[in-house]
A and B are shown apart, each in its own frame.
Chain A
Amino acid sequence: MARLIPFKVAVVSTVLFVVCTNIVCCNNGRKVGDVLDTEFSGFSVPLEHSFEVDDVAKFRVRGALVLKAGREPSVSLSQNQLSEEDRAKLKEVAAVDGLYRIRVPRVFLQADRQTERQMEGYLTAFVRACAMVESHLSDVITLHSDVSGYLIGVSIVTIPGACRGTEVEDEVDLEVFNTTLSVMAPVNAPGPETALFLERMEQESEKKGKNPQEQKSFFAKYWYLILGGAIFLMATNSAQPPAGGGREQS
């Protein structure tokens, strides 16, 4: 047996070698980089932000979103710290109740090539700068994609979301972003649940079938009531003719 294994390894490796050479033959015209890109299928797009005292947007890079395409797209974010200057500016903007905006370029997550991924235009969202400051830069960014994998929207909220006017004393709190990031694809809306309903009906009827009491027909069960009612009706009818034309009370 011990000898057999190396033999097997040899066979497997030769087979593999043959296959590999075949692949190489097939791939003659391809660039190596492309293959790598699809296999890892991660690509990065810039996440930009803007906060200005006069509220005229000037977007600068905040970090890089690394998107992984596929059936379940995932995303990760690497972002820089806020510089001293930016921190001061953010606090200033918060003081005048300005906006903190972010934007990401429109991308197509399912495409194979880099050139097909990027589309014209950006998706923008905003949050009040004071909320950003008061939450110590802890924000939740959600990227929304549509059915076919296009990014259609981005949203940002801070937790907590309110502006209470509390001073942020410590500059260190405004240094590092504490970001929760996710990609949301549309959920499938449910259709009418006929199958389950029918199954339940079936079960119910089975349950009833086990109970012999339920097997009896309506007349078999309530014959005495019906008979009594009929006699009563006959008795009342013969006693007095019905008052015709009387107005029905509601």
Chain B
Amino acid sequence: MNLSNLYGAAPLSHKTKNKPVNFRLPPCLEEQAKAAAAMAKLILLCLKCIILYSTVEAVFEDQVGKFDWRQQYVGKVRFSHFDTHLQSSKKVLLATENNVFAALNSRTGELLWRHVDKTGPEGNIDALLQHGQDAVLVVGNGRLLRSWETNVGGLNWEVVLDSGSFQSACLVGQQDTVKHVAVLKKSVISLHYLSNGHQKWIENLPESETVDYQGVYSGGNGEVYALGVVPHSHIAVVGYSLEDGEIIKQISAEAPWLSNIQASCVMISQGMLTCVDSATVSLYMLDLHVQSQMTQIPLQSLGFEVAPGFQPVLVSTQPNPARQPLSEFFLQLGPEHYLLLQLNNGQIVTLRDLKPAMLVSFATTGEKTVAAVMSPKNKTASTVNLYSAESGRRLLDTTLIFTMDPNGGKPEKLYVQAFLKKDDSVGYRVMVQTEDQTLTFIQQPGRVMWTREEALSDVVTMEMVDLPLTGTQAELEGEFGKKADGLMSMVLKRLSSQLILLQAWIAHLWKLFYDARKPRSQVKNDVTIENLSRDEFNLQKMMVMVTASGKLFGIDSKTGSILWRHYLDNVPSNAAFKLMVQRTTAHFPHPPQCTLLIKDKDTGLATLHVFNPIFGKKSHVTPPALPHPILQSLMLPLMDQDYAKVLLLVDDQYKVSAFPSTKNVLQQLQELASSIFFYLVDSSQGRLSGYRLRTDLSTELIWEVVIPTEVQTIISVKGKRPNEHVHSQGRVMGDRSVLYKYLNPNLLAVVTESTDLHQERSFVGILLIDGVTGRIIHEAVQRKARGPVHVVHSENWVVYEYWSTKSRRNEFSVIELYEGMELYNSTVFSSLDRPHAPQVLQQSYIFPSSISTLEATLTEKGITSRHLLIGLPSGGILSLPKMFLDPRRPEIVSEQSREENLIPYAPELLIRTEWFINYNQTVSRVRGIYTAPSGLESTCLVVAYGLDIYQTRVYPSKQFDVLKDDYDYMLISSVLFALFFATMISKRLAEVKLLNRAWR
């Protein structure tokens, strides 16, 4: 995979392209040719620069998957079908709310194939119908009709449907063969061939202005019915002939209680439209073949009672679209009460009263249809049983136990895969979807075959936490941590800890010996929560991931295995999350502590969830109740006596509360109040304001900057990362003088976008504001530019990317700040005492692709050069050296700039394939990149998340502090030994020679 050979070839192409042009073109064409030639030269110059200056970094083929892993997800399942056309099929088809259509291997839970459509309503999957090997999807509110081949996931055909909002779709069969699919829209119904998608006929629906058509049904008898309702008036059913779309039948029946057919009606038996109404507590039935009134059957007359305040629900099944639906159906009367009913000669017969029952589902295999019912067993488990749909009898030996994760959500949906065993009895497996978007596939009698955590498809924020020390290391640490209490006890303590070390060492040796006897394949090094410990270079960390559904995960960064999960069930749907590490693992014996701030975006009310990031357990520390909306939260570098960093929360009364709020903390806060500043941003009013803490934990407004919202709106405000280290204070110039960096830790980069979006007048504004004093350090406007703007702010530079409306391309711009040739105050930086404005340098570049997200690498000490990590919409993650984004890149190369190793300016930034850190491991819809330093200065850990999660390591300055994997220890040691012996022998020889000479 190393592409360094390529560079040898590059100059060759350069020389050959420089041939003079001997013929003349028409003037206009010549102009073009000139431009093209110039462009070619431009590219070549860039190539030259790259050859001269860039470092090579890529993954070797044998390193693939060694330091990196990828996990692919699909998102929350909306439709799911088991592939049943073959008995041996191992496929589950999933269509999700993230606009993904995928097939899973039902034995392992791995993805067989996956299709990721556009985000937003354009790619929204409205319906999934399955027939044989084909899966038909309606996509984008009825915009497209697609058919997929489910074995390999290839597209059979795609047709664009007429405009109109999608209502319903169904497969249409006749005489036991299914050849068509019917699509119902707001005002039209169309029929398409399953084989090629061609439209057989399209008909306008009668009176579509008044009638709300919601459902389409076909019972396999050559007729297609569109079911419509005039809310609170009547039902209108239109029957079409399958052959030519001619209206055969039009039925209208009084139904003043009905407003939504799909929610309250199902088709059962021979065209019997059955509805349930909660107001009159009755079933209504309408036979579509015998035009008549709706017959009302009060539930009371059948002896049923609906749970108060519950809307009854009907569930029916049509195993084969070419045949009529079954006459058996479920009626849900309460949250945990179902009835299995049968329509027998116009009479409703109760087959089974199921109480308690949480979830029910029909499944069909061969000619047999069964009903799976999940009922609670105890607090942590529930059972699933099969019932024969025809008789309502419970089938023997079909109990399956589903153990619920105490840290998970409640079951939400039940998908059943039924199959015929050899003795013709029905066997089954179930896939349970829970509230936390987990899919669990279970086999009888309760063996979990796999689980998929689909919540991870929507990671909102994450942190990486160091793993704890091993027990023995911790013991040693503890010895130093405790206070000394006398010589004797110290000696004893030392001896005891040495003994423990010895014990651990012997145990380790024993394990080595024991493992050595076993065959290699049996020795497993599974990472579990028990044997988690920090490795030598702190390369393995705990990834704490927060997902939009409110489920938290602890993932081992080395293997990607999920070590703990915790579902927070009271998270509002529009919550904003902020994850903070209050105490790291460095303070043994205090457990590490993370705090998650969950804020309702509408009300501003927030809650805190405090937990241990290594084990995921909720901490015993009770977080403070927050009665007021929270405006801002900030972590102070202050620590309480238990080494937990102090979190300040500012509410809408501008009062500050601290967490933890012990006496010690409050005292520290009082002492330091006058040096604690914070800022608030109100983008709706364009107001940035600075506050200072007072000793009584109230605040005072000290500065205000108001950006008029009529002209521009604040898009984002970016500070620097608090854990960032800058190793060098300045840059050495070509003439050996030093240009000092302006390293203001309080600097904020505020990005604004103009409200006027006309391409001539739109602009992107960049303000650099000191967060303590409110001083505007720099103010720049990028004219004829538009968002989305991505910003990275680090060290003394800000890099942003925008869309240039004038040139219609993406451009990068970099701003660097320098103090000048001398430092104002080299010992300490204070925002209150920096009267001179920094020098500002800026340069812009063309970038050949749009980008999804932007982040900078981060290392332990900041010695390693920085790279920008760019998530591209194509799924690649590009590691672009910051060196290319340097406003000091000279237009004209001089001796000094060469001395300084500056790359000559070229307006275009190239994307080189070796810069992709994820080689062929595409990360779909990357939304964020998280970087964390490791214990090795050269190495930065990177996690990219979106629909997929990808973890890897990057070495921006190559692995200067690590010996290579294939380092030849043998050679070096043999050379050393050989040299050693050679010296010994020659010494001996020399001695003998001297002695001989002395004798002579």
Query: Which A residues are closer than 8 A to B by beta carbons?
Result: 55-57, 97, 99, 101, 106, 119, 121-128, 131, 140, 142, 144, 146-148, 150, 152-153, 155, 157-163, 184-194, 196-198, 200-202, 205, 208-209, 215, 217-218, 248-250
Is A249's CB under 8 angstroms from B966's CB?
Answer: yes
Q: Verify if B305 is at the interface (C-beta below 8 Å from A).
A: no
Give the distance to chain A from B533, nearest Cβ to Cβ, in Å.
31
Within 8 A of A (CB), among B426-447: none
Q: What are 9 of the A-B contact pairs (CB < 8 Å)?
A: A57-B701, A123-B705, A125-B775, A126-B703, A152-B706, A155-B774, A187-B779, A193-B891, A201-B45
A32 CA to B102 CA, complexed, in Å:
76
Q: Among B149-157, B786-794, B841-849, which stretch is in contact with chain A? A: B841-849
- Chain A's interface: helix, strand, loop or mixed, by majority? mixed
Is B773's CB under 8 angstroms from A217's CB?
Answer: no
A150 CA to B686 CA, complexed, in Å:
12
A106 neighbours in B (Cβ, 8 Å) = 706
Within 8 A of A (CB), among B774-790: 774-776, 778-783
User: In the complex, which of the residues B702, B712, B773, B779 has the most CB atoms of chain A within 10 Å of its own CB atom?
Assistant: B779
B843 neighbours in A (Cβ, 8 Å) = 190, 193
Q: Among B380-388, B493-501, B606-614, B827-835, which stretch is in contact with chain A? A: B827-835
- Kindly identify which residue among B703, B779, B783 contacts A124, using a CB–CB cutoff of 8 Å: B703
Knowing A153-B705, A161-B832, the reply to whether A197 touches B781 (Cβ < 8 A) is no
Leading 7 A-B pairs by shortest Cβ distance = A161-B835, A218-B15, A155-B775, A153-B705, A192-B907, A186-B779, A157-B835
Is A161's CB under 8 angstroms from B765's CB?
Answer: no
Chain A residue with the shortest CB-CB distance to B813:
A189
Chain B residue with the shortest CB-CB distance to A135:
B835
Is B38's CB under 8 angstroms from A162's CB?
Answer: no
- Kindly identify which residue among A184, A187, A205, A218 contacts B12, using a CB–CB cutoff of 8 Å: A218
A215 CA to B779 CA, complexed, in Å:
49
A194 neighbours in B (Cβ, 8 Å) = 846, 907
Q: Verify if B42 is at the interface (C-beta below 8 Å from A).
A: yes
A196 CA to B811 CA, complexed, in Å:
17
Is B700's CB under 8 angstroms from A55's CB?
Answer: yes
Knowing A184-B776, A188-B780, A201-B42, the reply to whether A125 touches B711 (Cβ < 8 A) is no
Known: A55-B700, A193-B905. 14 other contacts (CB 8 A): A124-B704, A126-B774, A131-B832, A146-B779, A152-B708, A153-B706, A153-B774, A187-B779, A187-B780, A197-B891, A209-B20, A215-B20, A217-B16, A250-B964
Give the distance to chain A from B867, nearest Cβ to Cβ, in Å.
21
B835 neighbours in A (Cβ, 8 Å) = 140, 157-161
Is B708's CB under 8 angstroms from A150's CB?
Answer: yes
- Kindly identify which residue among B16, B813, B833, B844 contacts A161, using a CB–CB cutoff of 8 Å: B833
Chain A residue with the shortest CB-CB distance to B781:
A186
Give the distance to chain B from A193, nearest Cβ to Cβ, in Å.
6
Which of under 10, 10 to 19, 20 to 34, or 35 or more describes the interface residues of B? 35 or more
Give the distance to chain B from A210, nearest Cβ to Cβ, in Å.
12
A215 neighbours in B (Cβ, 8 Å) = 20
- The contact string, 1 if C-beta is below 8 Å from chain A, for chain B 688-708, is 000010100000111111111
- Kindly identify which residue among B41, B705, B907 contacts A152, using a CB–CB cutoff of 8 Å: B705
Knowing A144-B776, A147-B711, the reply to whether A250 touches B966 (Cβ < 8 A) is yes
Q: Verify if B906 is at the interface (C-beta below 8 Å from A).
A: yes
Query: Which B residues are closer than 8 A to A by beta carbons?
Result: 2, 12, 15-16, 18-20, 38, 41-42, 45, 60, 674, 692, 694, 700-708, 711-712, 754, 763, 765-766, 769, 773-776, 778-783, 804, 806-807, 811, 813, 815, 825, 832-835, 842-846, 891-892, 905-908, 964, 966
Is A128's CB under 8 angstroms from B832's CB?
Answer: yes
A104 CA to B891 CA, complexed, in Å:
42
A200 CA to B38 CA, complexed, in Å:
10
B846 neighbours in A (Cβ, 8 Å) = 192, 194
Is A189's CB under 8 angstroms from B780's CB?
Answer: yes
Is A97's CB under 8 angstroms from B674's CB?
Answer: yes
Give the distance to chain A from B770, nearest Cβ to Cβ, in Å.
8
A249 CA to B811 CA, complexed, in Å:
39
B692 neighbours in A (Cβ, 8 Å) = 99
Is A189's CB under 8 angstroms from B907's CB?
Answer: no
Is B779's CB under 8 angstroms from A201's CB?
Answer: no
B41 neighbours in A (Cβ, 8 Å) = 201, 205
Is A123's CB under 8 angstroms from B711's CB?
Answer: no
A155 CA to B770 CA, complexed, in Å:
10
A55 neighbours in B (Cβ, 8 Å) = 694, 700
- Kindly identify which residue among A121, A125, A162, A196 contacts B706, using a CB–CB cutoff of 8 Å: A121
A152 neighbours in B (Cβ, 8 Å) = 705-708, 776
A202 neighbours in B (Cβ, 8 Å) = 38
Give the distance to chain A from B832, nearest Cβ to Cβ, in Å.
6
Is A197's CB under 8 angstroms from B907's CB?
Answer: yes
- Kindly identify which residue among A99, A153, A160, A208 contacts B702, using a CB–CB cutoff of 8 Å: A99
B842 neighbours in A (Cβ, 8 Å) = 189-190
Knowing A186-B765, A201-B45, A205-B41, the reply to whether A122 touches B704 (Cβ < 8 A) is yes
Chain A residue with the shortest CB-CB distance to B777:
A155
Chain A residue with the shortest CB-CB distance to B19:
A217
User: In the complex, which of the residues B778, B783, B833, B834 has the most CB atoms of chain A within 10 Å of its own CB atom?
Assistant: B833
Is A186's CB under 8 angstroms from B674's CB?
Answer: no
Knowing A193-B905, A197-B905, the reply to whether A146 touches B703 (Cβ < 8 A) is no
Is B783's CB under 8 angstroms from A148's CB?
Answer: no
Chain B residue with the shortest CB-CB distance to A249:
B966
A248 CA to B5 CA, complexed, in Å:
12
Is A184's CB under 8 angstroms from B674's CB?
Answer: no
A196 neighbours in B (Cβ, 8 Å) = 891
Chain B residue with the shortest CB-CB distance to A187:
B780
Knowing A99-B702, A187-B780, A193-B905, the reply to whether A125 touches B774 (Cβ < 8 A) is yes
A162 CA to B825 CA, complexed, in Å:
10
User: In the complex, which of the residues A97, A152, A162, A185 has the most CB atoms of chain B within 10 Å of its own CB atom?
Assistant: A152
A127 CA to B773 CA, complexed, in Å:
8
B781 neighbours in A (Cβ, 8 Å) = 147, 186-189
A142 CA to B769 CA, complexed, in Å:
13
Give the distance to chain B from A102, nearest Cβ to Cβ, in Å.
10
A45 CA to B806 CA, complexed, in Å:
39
Chain A residue with the shortest CB-CB distance to B765:
A186
A186 CA to B778 CA, complexed, in Å:
8
Give the distance to chain B from A3, nearest Cβ to Cβ, in Å.
57
Is A126's CB under 8 angstroms from B711's CB?
Answer: no
A214 CA to B906 CA, complexed, in Å:
23
Give the distance to chain A from B971, nearest Cβ to Cβ, in Å.
12
Is A124's CB under 8 angstroms from B702's CB?
Answer: yes
Give the distance to chain A from B541, nearest Cβ to Cβ, in Å.
27
Is B703's CB under 8 angstroms from A125's CB?
Answer: yes
B766 neighbours in A (Cβ, 8 Å) = 189
- Kindly identify which residue among B19, B779, B891, B966 contacts A184, using a CB–CB cutoff of 8 Å: B779
Knowing A161-B833, A250-B966, the reply to whether A190 touches B844 (Cβ < 8 A) is yes
A209 CA to B21 CA, complexed, in Å:
12
A185 CA to B703 CA, complexed, in Å:
20
Give the distance to chain B from A223, nearest Cβ to Cβ, in Å.
13
User: In the complex, which of the residues A126, A188, A192, A202 has the most CB atoms of chain B within 10 Å of its own CB atom?
Assistant: A192
A127 CA to B846 CA, complexed, in Å:
41
Chain B residue with the shortest CB-CB distance to A99:
B702
Is A126's CB under 8 angstroms from B773's CB?
Answer: yes
A163 neighbours in B (Cβ, 8 Å) = 833
Is B775's CB under 8 angstroms from A146's CB?
Answer: no
A185 CA to B779 CA, complexed, in Å:
8
A99 neighbours in B (Cβ, 8 Å) = 692, 702
Give the distance to chain B from A195, nearest Cβ to Cβ, in Å.
9
Is A146's CB under 8 angstroms from B780's CB?
Answer: no
A185 CA to B38 CA, complexed, in Å:
36
A184 neighbours in B (Cβ, 8 Å) = 776, 779
Chain B residue with the shortest CB-CB distance to A163:
B833
B966 neighbours in A (Cβ, 8 Å) = 249-250
